[in-house]
């Protein structure tokens, strides 16, 4: 990688926010991003809910050029509202990236990826990707984002590599 890439992680979980659950997926994402030579400049936790996610993402993306990944709140539970909160903030969606993540996590006969409602898109020069709440699912989907992120971030920063 020519230029240093920056990343931020947002764990969305009532249990983690309340201190009753360990943040396994957020920690795993920070470790994987660091191993991929991203500089993780922030790791926050917020409760589930449209407003809490939207508020956290507004803060994380304001003036930021880099990758922002969320973990948690993308399923069918009544408080799984990360996609709705994310859509409040996104300027442009990247549906192909979200679909590639769902496809990647629907291998080996497992169908959990089909239940993910995560969205991806851009806010200014930030690429935002919703990842599942399980550590294994989050890491699987992160691999898809990592393949596309450097090129996407270059384009968002005004690069014209074509």
Domains of the chain: 5-156 (3.40.980.10)
Q: Which residue has the higher pLDDT, 156 or 108?
A: 156
User: Please, are residues 135 and 28 in contact by the beta-carbon 8 Å criterion?
Assistant: yes
The model's pLDDT over 44-54, given as tens digits with 9 standing for 90+, comes to 999 999 999 99
Q: Residue 50, Cβ neighbours under 10 Å: how many?
A: 16
- Find where tokens 């699987």 sit: 140
The count of C-alpha atoms lying within 13 angstroms of the C-alpha of 104, restricted to the half-sphere facing its C-beta, is: 20
At 1, is the pLDDT very low, low, confident or very high (cuts 50, 70, 90)?
A: very low
**Predicted TM-score (pTM) of this structure:** 0.94
pLDDT for position 107: 56
């Amino acid at each position: 990688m020519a230029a240093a890439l920056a990343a931020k992680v947002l764990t969305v979980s009532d249990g983690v926010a309340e201190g009753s659950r360990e943040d396994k997926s957020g920690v795993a994402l920070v470790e994987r991003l660091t191993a991929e030579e991203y500089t993780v400049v922030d790791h926050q936790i917020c409760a589930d809910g449209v407003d809490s996610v939207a508020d956290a993402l507004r803060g994380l993306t304001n003036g930021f050029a880099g990758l922002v990944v969320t973990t948690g709140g993308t399923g069918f539970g009544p408080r799984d509202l990360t996609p709705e909160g994310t859509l409040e903030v996104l300027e442009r969606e990247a549906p192909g990236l979200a679909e590639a993540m769902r496809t990647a996590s629907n291998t080996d006969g497992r169908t959990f990826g089909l239940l993910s409602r995560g969205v991806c898109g851009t806010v200014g020069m930030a690429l935002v990707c919703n990842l599942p709440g399980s550590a294994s699912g989050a890491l699987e989907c992160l691999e898809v984002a990592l393949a596309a992120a450097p090129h996407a971030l270059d384009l968002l920063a005004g690069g014209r590599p074509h």
